[in-house]
Amino acid sequence: MDDLTPPATRPANPRFSSGPCAKPPVFRLDALADAPLGRSHRAAVGKARLKAAIDGTREILGVPADYRIAIVPASDTGAYEMAMWTMLGARPVEMLAWESFGAGWVTDAIKQLKLDAVVREAPYGEIVDLSAVNWDADVCFTWNGTTSGVRVPTGDVIPADRAGLTLCDATSAAFAMDLPWDKLDVTTFSWQKVLGGEGAHGMIILSPRAVARLESYTPPWPLPKIFRLTKGGKLIEGIFKGETINTPSMLCVEDYLLALDWARSIGGLPALVARAEANAGAVARFVAATPGIGNLARDPATASTTSVCLTFTDPAIRDAAAFAKAVAKRLEAEGVALDVGAYRDAPPGLRIWCGSTVETADIEALMPWIGWAMRAEIAAQSADA
Ligand SMILES: Cc1ncc(COP(=O)(O)O)c(C=O)c1O
């Protein structure tokens, strides 16, 4: 076979974006027809849907009964910044970062909140040495680095008897990776990631110790209304029953409920995790068998199973950034992969979303196309020389 012959099979769904991610396989717009549109979210029907979203989250993720869960404004960013703004400043802070979103939380801590925080950063493709972290400080970190394709392998290193709080941005991990709830005091995510929901709404999950912090500590800086979780030093319990701070989109809520139903129907969290692992496994097999391409994650133990980042290593490549862009463009032009270019701040390459809504057959069908696009681009580059 000619090396440049396009593969015979195309992915049935070419959506491999790392957010918003592919909708669940059962998604159809008319499946949202029962959304209580044009009704108040404070009416019984709206409140019931919001409460179902919270209850379903607890059920599928296995969140302990004494943890609080809320739907909050502004997607994962809103949820995470709400946690930083309401809880940090009470004790020493350590900021851990291994990609651009984690780096954004470092900027928040240092430049906006003006905290004298210890900052531990790892280059793209690595995470920091978690055993060196002072867990008696409040520790902010990202479970899965969406833009760098690395993740925390387990929470074992986090001590159960820590004095600090752990604030975990788990937006590209929740529903695809097991999260150790006893080690996480604040966990945030957005619907737009692993369950293929919509952006705009964030979720925040609080341990009893995080609630104790909220009720015992008042930060020195002002808090906008959309960050306020307490009133008169007491938690506003209604927020954790679906009485949202401001108006949510009931269409997005309905869409999230559909995704939760789908998750339940396939077997819940174990099935969601297994799907992401199977997808990442299919990419790993391709990478192992293909010269000239590598995983950005240096250590397989920390390699992401959702946002898998690939780099091109063929010595014939002259301009890595231009090459990676051209490969992504070829894949898009063929209609086999949309939105797979590496994140703008990350090293040049491809990023293939392997989260739970993506079908393994589609990942398997995509891999030969990546090999093809790479060979075609090297050939084009040589012809230009
Ligand atoms: C690790 C991480 N944190 C935060 C965000 C921001 O999420 P959102 O746009 O849902 O606020 C993203 C988005 O990709 C992310 O990957």
User: Ligand 1 centre from 184 Cα, in Å?
Assistant: 18
- Among residues of the chain, what percentage have pLDDT more than 70? 99
User: Ligand 1 centre from 381 Cα, in Å?
Assistant: 35
CB-ligand 1 contact for 190 (6 Å cutoff): yes
CB-ligand 1 contact for 306 (6 Å cutoff): no
CB-ligand 1 contact for 142 (6 Å cutoff): yes
User: Ligand 1 centre from 169 Cα, in Å?
Assistant: 8
CB-ligand 1 contact for 295 (6 Å cutoff): no
Structure tokens given for 247:
């108006």
CB-ligand 1 contact for 307 (6 Å cutoff): no
DSSP string, 183-242: G-SEEEEETTSTT---SSEEEEEE-HHHHHHHHH---SS---GGG--EETTEE-GGGGGT
Superfamily grouping for domain 268-384: Aspartate Aminotransferase, domain 1 (3.90.1150.10)
User: Ligand 1 centre from 77 Cα, in Å?
Assistant: 6
pLDDT digits (tens, 9 = 90+) for 39-86: 999 999 999 999 999 999 999 999 999 999 999 999 999 999 999 999
Mutation test residue for ligand 1: of 75, 84, 142, 171, the one with most atoms within 8 Å of CB = 171
Ligand 1 atom at shortest distance from the alpha carbon of 79 = 11
Q: Is 258 helix (H, G, I), strand (E, B) or coil?
A: helix
Number of residues that make up the chain: 385
User: Ligand 1 centre from 370 Cα, in Å?
Assistant: 26
Residue 223 pLDDT greater than 60, yes or no = yes
- Whole-number Å distance between alpha carbons of 313 and 295: 10
Distance set, CA 63 to CA 7, 56, 80, 276 (Å): 44, 10, 18, 20
Residue 1 pLDDT greater than 50, yes or no = no
Q: Where are the domains of the chain?
A: 29-265, 268-384
What pLDDT band is residue 345 in, cutting at 50, 70 and 90?
confident
Residue with tokens 């920091």: 128
Of 184, 157, 159, nearest in space to 173 by CA = 184
Of 198, 205, 227, 57, nearest in space to 143 by CA = 205
User: Ligand 1 centre from 384 Cα, in Å?
Assistant: 39
Residue 30, class by beta-carbon neighbours within 10 Å (0-12 exposed, 13-18 middle, 19+ buried)?
Answer: exposed
What type of residue sits at position 196? G
Mutation test residue for ligand 1: of 81, 148, 172, the one with most atoms within 8 Å of CB = 172
DSSP string, 132-146: GS-TTSEEEEESEET
Rounded mean pLDDT of the chain? 97
- Among residues of the chain, what percentage have pLDDT more than 90? 97
Ligand 1 atom at shortest distance from the alpha carbon of 199 = 10
Instruction: Kindly state the average pLDDT of the residues 302-330.
Output: 97
- Whole-number Å distance between alpha carbons of 129 and 325: 32
CB-ligand 1 contact for 169 (6 Å cutoff): yes
- Whole-number Å distance between alpha carbons of 125 and 308: 10
Structure tokens given for 287:
């990478």
Q: Are 255 and 201 in contact (CB under 8 A)?
A: no
pLDDT digits (tens, 9 = 90+) for 349-372: 999 999 999 999 999 999 999 999
- Whole-number Å distance between alpha carbons of 201 and 129: 32
- Whole-number Å distance between alpha carbons of 46 and 142: 32
Whether the model clears a pTM of 0.95, i.e. scores above it, the answer is yes
Predicted local confidence at residue 2, as pLDDT: 52
User: Ligand 1 centre from 171 Cα, in Å?
Assistant: 6
Predicted local confidence at residue 383, as pLDDT: 85
Instruction: Kindly state the average pLDDT of the residues 150-171.
Output: 98
Which residues, at least 6 apart from 104, have a Cβ–Cβ distance to it below 8 Å? none
29-265 — its CATH code?
Answer: 3.40.640.10
- Whole-number Å distance between alpha carbons of 232 and 146: 37
Residue with tokens 């490549």: 317
User: Ligand 1 centre from 303 Cα, in Å?
Assistant: 18
Q: Are 337 and 327 in contact (CB under 8 A)?
A: no
Of 1, 10, 19, 381, nearest in space to 197 by CA = 19
